[in-house]
Structure 1
Amino acid sequence: MRSSLSRSSFCLAHPALRIKRPSPLGGFISRFPAYCSMTTTIEETYQRPGDGTITWLDGKCLAVWHDFVITSPNVNYIPWFELGRCRVQTRKDGRFGLADFSLTPQRFSDSFPHSALIPEPPRRQTSAQAAFWLTPGDNDFEPVQGTSFHDVGHLGKAFIQRVEPFFEELREEVVRWEKEHPRDEQLALILTNTTQALGRLKYAAYSFRDLVNDFAYFSHNMLDLNARIAFVKKYSSRAFVTGADDKPGNVALWAIGAWTTEPIHVQWLLRAGIPVWYVRTKEQFLASMHSRCRPNVEKITQMQAPPGWVCTDAPVDSVGRPQASHIIYEGPSNDTLHAFSRRPLFLGNTTIEKLAELPAKAPDIGGFYDQYTVRAVSGPASHVSVAGDTRNAAVHKLLTSAKAAHDRQSMSDWRSEPDDAPPPSDAASSNDEEPLRHKKRKSTAQRNAAKRARAEDPNPPPKPVQRDKWEDPESDIIPPASPVWAAALKMVDQSPERLEPHRPSNANYQWPDPALFATTNKKGRFLVNWLAARQAWLARLTTSAGQGAAAGSNQMWRDYLGTKHDQRLRQGTFTARCRAQVEETFGVTMREKGPSIVYWQEAELLASRVEDSNGEQERHIMREVVWDACEHSFRFELRALDRLAGEFEWYDNPVGRDRMVAAIFGGSYTVDSVPNFNIGLLSDDMSIRMRSMEALRKVMKAWPDHPYEVKHLTYTEGMAEAFEKGQGLDLLRRCEKALAEFYCQTFYNWFGRPAIVPHFVPLRPRAPTP
């Protein structure tokens, strides 16, 4: 069976690529009169007398574009491609417009040579493979039920069913290849990224904008995977043939191809049978005309117009207004463009040491630069680059300051900061952000009432003491914490000297503090409001809009969960301010009234009954919700901590690092349903617990000041078997204690508050005996 993206179905370019434009060749000839004196016709000018062969420096066609001469030795057309500065930036369809490596030919990349084997889009949208160039629409977006927020939903099952069979075929093809050949690291990496992207599309909740972006990322990976398979199976070996068999390969007319300025690349692609376009300056081409083997050209043509079917529009908001989108990379088409085009939108951190210039603000509605943007401004100029867009030069400025170097910093990390930004405080800051409530001056009547109350009761009861956040409050709805991790919290050195000088300015929570549900007298309302918000918050944390930045203050969570959101909204009220802050944090708008039905573990719950009832069923649901809050808090806090403590690991390889952290939890940061057994670092299965501990140890090795156990002790399957037999339990307890204490101390050093630690899964109530 052929590969799912059948390569024969892409044998011709998209019809829109065939648009012609007036030829500039006449101007080229007139500026070089030496050409005209050699022959009397254009055809004779580029023909070697008596020689009809076409080699790598010849051309089946030739076109002149601005200051460049473009030839191809194996195809007879010149598609549109960008020879100037490219801008990798999210467009309305989630792709990168004319700078997208899956839509238009890019410069040949030594790091990603298979890019030239991306198939061209099929002619008909009814073709099965056309799904990878489509964009999810409103009809493909299934809103989540029982939520208080607009624009939160899943990708429709019908859309997934169009693409999943192709993924399964490609995955099986990779498995068959790896059984008989050495492992190809790029192939394995692309398959992993594609698998994870499909898993998100099948199960994760999204805002519509993030759904479009993540499907485009999945599409890129699928096309990349298909191209890499073709490369390793066939085209890589063809490119290295030498001797008598060193001749042009049969051309893959279904492939998008690549352009290049390097003769070695032209020869390589010609032998492999991949469409290639050789770009030379006019001076270089003129010099070749005076060489022994002047170019032999079969026909003169023009570069085609930019394909009209490629989306170049900016994203729009819910009312259709264009919105600026993040610019991921700006510069010439090169390896860096290829690398950043393949990254998830939410993992694009600076990886180029010579980033030296950033603008002060968004240059236009089309996009904005920030500390995540890579701009090739200080590297050597490419001899084929034409002048870039300078319309926004007025908003550019040189950086006047750099982030203070970490004592273990291995590369310069330049950032753009507002000139009026206050310097980070060195004082310990464990308090939450200012609450929404504004302190008002008491009226005369209120002061008089307070005096009368004091006269009637001169010894009022003392105000409640603020709870100790370093241990769980006593409550039957909080599952027990792991004794090892609970003890590790008490061992934390809370002295201000331990705090990191460049820690975040706030101590926000990635998930509502589980203790909030146990310390309120409005447990029912907290439960209903959280169940109505949980899917929207998951969408915020797990998709592009919220990676690395989504968190709320403890006061924000308390205000939102304790407020009745079905009242008529009036400007200036506490409820209105609470709603505005929640919408800003969640990134989506709230409905005017909360849902009448909420869901937990696929069970429908009547909101009014849950809020007013305190029965055993509601209490068990609350236990599971609190465990869910503990588990997700620990997972997302660990990732947030690693982005700080292992900062440069994220700079060097953000995709790999994110996958490395997720491996602690079995490859996913989210829990789809409450299990019937303990999982991860507390798993009852010793082999699973060992794998989680080993994954955590590997992550911690990048953190400063790690203990001996983190650096030297590894956890193997053999150790798990020994522990199951009761052997070496002292070593296991020592290792768990070292990992837990190091985590809790490091978390305090960076966030100035206690970490949320793992808790045991609550036991389900037994069914009544008949």
Structure 2
Amino acid sequence: MSSSAQSTGPSYYVHSSGAFFAHDARLLYHQPPTVFTTPNTYNIPRLFHWEDEDIQARANGRFGYVDLHQWPQMYEKSYPWSVAIPRKHAWTAGQPMSWTWYTPAHEDFVPLPNSNLTVGFLATPKLEGLKTMRDFLLARFRQYQLSITRLSRDTNLATGTVRSMQVAYDRLRRFPLAWRDTVAMVAKYQQNILEACAVMDYHENIKPRMRIPTHPYPDTNLGWMGAFTQHEQIADRLFAAGVPVWLICPDSVVLPDRITVRAIVDHMVQPTDIVTAQFQDPRQAFATPFPVHYRGPGGLNHHIQAVEEEQRQSEAGPSWQGRNPNRSTSAQITMGGRAPRAQTPSQGSQSRDKWADLDHPKAPPRIETSTLALQKANRNREPSQIPLMPSGYRFPEPAVFTNVSSADSLKCHLANWLALQPFWVGRITQNPNHNIGPKIWRAFLNSSPDDTTPPEADTRAAKLKKAARDMFGTPLGTICQAPHGLATTA
């Protein structure tokens, strides 16, 4: 008895032979002119790879159908560990790792009391649940370090992911965040957990079997995400390692009498529990979407590279938006063979008009209400009988960043501010009148974590550095030291 797929092109039918290889089909789906087969799974999921997709975090902080942490993607040799991402059914409720798929509800968010800013923390029971997952992973990571001692590169890859997980958890536990940022940080924390598990599983269990296959092949681990591939050699290696795999081939090369087919299906499995809606403010019910990192064909490679590129640009310093893409680079070379230094406005260091918004390529877009307020402000310099507002700035003035000519100095400024920002928002929330003078801000932004001893010189610059250290040194010390030692915090 046999059944055939009703479609144009070759007609496939169920039949068995003695041997069974990676190119054979436990399941076959024919979508002319393409054939999807799997040698070791019980369904064929839909592949979101060729359709145009937005690489953008959704309402739950994850990336929808093209998220490698939620749905199988095309195999990418640059990220081979992605095939071992744990699937949602890998752990049952009550186990520590089941928190990997927890999605925060607004009821879990506890705003800071008596605050002008809507920032806060996750409720303590939720933080404790996330902590159990962290503790479980750290115990697993210590065992992994002992078993992979000779493969330092593999150990370093897992170490970096575990450190990122630690930083994400510390931000959730220590620093008040807005609700939207809390959702994104929980998702990032969970993604780091999943990636760390995948890296360790890949190097311990999958990579050795792919290098030296042994018969009989191990049973398929359906708790791993698996991958699609268009290459039979890759399918054979994943099949030999017990990884779920789906092979994609043109029907012109898949001859019905040359392939073993155990079952034919008439549809691909569609995702049913993946969030695709945009983030929405829970109180005012208006959409505030996360930024779009990339728009185009989806898939694993685009997803990872788009997110990594966004992170690199945020750390690079000078903005690329102020450059003219049509201007020839070769035309800027001087007779001496050197390119002239780019000239940009340096309004931060000059005595610029403080009654006008900063206009600079590196500055963020103007806020219309702020511009109108400055235009209507009373500029009379006569002494006022009204008590003056406290001097200083709650946050660094944008001009502090735009007047930096050195890219390294700008990176230092941005790194210091990004490290301080979550802590400082919490302090400002509790004490809105806590303003810092511009010189102390500059002294702090110019500092480095290595500045641990106060200067002995009794100069004005030394006093400013000491004041900056007294103001910011304690919170930054814990932030800078945490990632290096992988120290656990209760």
TM-score using structure 2 length: 0.68
- Which structure has more relative contact order (CA 8 Å, sep 6+)? It is 2
Cα distance between partner residues in 2 of 1:105 and 1:214: 23
Q: Distance in 2 between matches of 1:302 and 1:176?
A: 45
Name the CA distance, whole Å, in 2 between partners of 1:163 and 1:137.
Answer: 14
For these two proteins, the number of residue pairs brought into alignment is 404
Structure 1 residue 424 displacement after superposition? 8.6
Give distance in 1, aligned partners of 2:67 and 2:45: 14
Partner residue, 2:425: 538
Cα deviation for residue 350 of structure 1 reads: 9.3
What is the rounded CA distance, in whole Å, between the counterparts of 2:4 and 2:127 in structure 1? 46
Q: In structure 1, which of residues 237, 252, 269 is the aligned counterpart of residue 238 of structure 2? A: 269
1:284 aligns with 2:253: yes
Q: % of aligned pairs identical? A: 18
Corresponding residue number in structure 2 for 1:434: 356
> Separation in 2 of the partners of 1:169 and 1:632?
40
Q: Is the 8 A contact 1:106 1:258 kept in 2?
A: yes
> For the residues of structure 2 that align with 1:238 and 1:222, how far apart are their CA atoms?
24
2: CA distance between counterparts of 1:335 and 1:309?
19
Matched, 1:147 2:120: no
What aligned pairs does 1:714-733 form with structure 2 within 5 A after superposition?
none
Residue 316 in 1 paired to residue 253 in 2?
no
Assess if the C-alpha contact under 8 Å between 1:120 and 1:254 holds in 2. yes
> 1:759–1:94: structure 2 CA closer, same or farther, 3 Å change rule?
same
Q: Which letter maps to 1:281?
A: P
Change (3 A) 1:336 1:76: closer
Q: Match of 1:138?
A: 106
Give how far 1:154 is off: 1.2
**2:16 equivalent to 1:26:** no
Equivalent in the alignment of 2:21 = 55
Query: Aligned residue for 2:138?
Result: 171
Deviation, 1:299, is 0.7
Task: Tell whether the 8 Å contact from 2:54 to 2:298 is kept in structure 1 after alignment.
Answer: no
Q: Distance in 1 between matches of 2:466 and 2:32?
A: 63
Equivalent residues in 2 for 1:497-536, closer than 5 Å: none
Is residue 156 of structure 1 aligned with residue 93 of structure 2?
Answer: no
Equivalent in the alignment of 2:365: none
Describe how 1:626-705 pairs up with structure 2 within 5 A: 637=445, 664-665=448-449, 680-683=450-453
**In the TM superposition, what is the alpha-carbon distance from 1:334 to its structure 2 partner?**
5.2
TM-score by length of 1: 0.45
Aligned residue number for residue 302 of structure 2:
337
Q: Secondary structure of 2:68's match?
A: coil
Q: Deviations over 1:39-80 (max 9, x none)?
A: xxx224xx4xxx232101111110123542110111232123
Aligned to 1:278, the other structure's residue is in SS state: strand
In 2, Cα distance between the equivalents of 1:441 and 1:761?
36
Aligned to 1:327: 292
- CA 1:424–1:282: 2 relative to 1, 3 Å: farther
Does the Cα contact within 8 Å between 1:81 and 1:306 map onto a contact in 2?
no
Q: Aligned equivalents of 1:334 and 1:404: distance in 2? A: 34
2:228/2:246 contact within 8 Å kept: yes
In the alignment, is the contact (CA less than 8 A) between 1:52 and 1:296 conserved in 2?
no
| RMSD (CA atoms) | 4.7
1:220 is the counterpart of 2:191: yes
Distance 2:249 2:82 in 1: 21
Aligned partners of 1:630 and 1:759 also within 8 Å: no
Report deviation, 1:135.
1.3
Q: 1:202 aligns with which of 173, 182, 194?
A: 173
Structure 2 CA distance for aligned equivalents of residues 632 and 322 of structure 1: 35
Distance 1:403 1:94, change over 3 A: farther
Letter in 2 for 1:81: L
Partner Cα distance (1:24, 1:633) in 2: 74
Structure 2 residues not aligned, in runs of 5+:
334-341, 358-372, 384-390, 393-402, 472-490
Alpha-carbon distance, 1:632 to partner: 6.9
1:116 partnered with 2:97? no
Q: Secondary structure at the match of 2:247?
A: strand
- 1:172 is aligned with what amino acid? A
Q: What CA distance in whole angstroms lies between the structure 2 residues aligned with 1:226 and 1:64?
A: 34
CA gap of 1:78–1:682, structure 2 versus 1, over 3 A, is same
Measure how far apart 1:161 and its partner are. 0.9
Change (3 A) 1:371 1:336: farther
Instruction: Tell me which residue corresponds to 1:575.
Output: none
Q: Distance in 2 between matches of 1:263 and 1:401?
A: 42
Distance 1:121 1:152 in 2: 30
Contact 1:131–1:163 (8 Å) recurs in 2 = yes
Question: Conserved in 1, the CA contact under 8 Å of 2:112 and 2:120?
Answer: yes
The answer on whether the counterparts of 1:91 and 1:311 sit within 8 Å (CA) in structure 2 is yes
User: What corresponds to 1:413 in structure 2?
Assistant: none
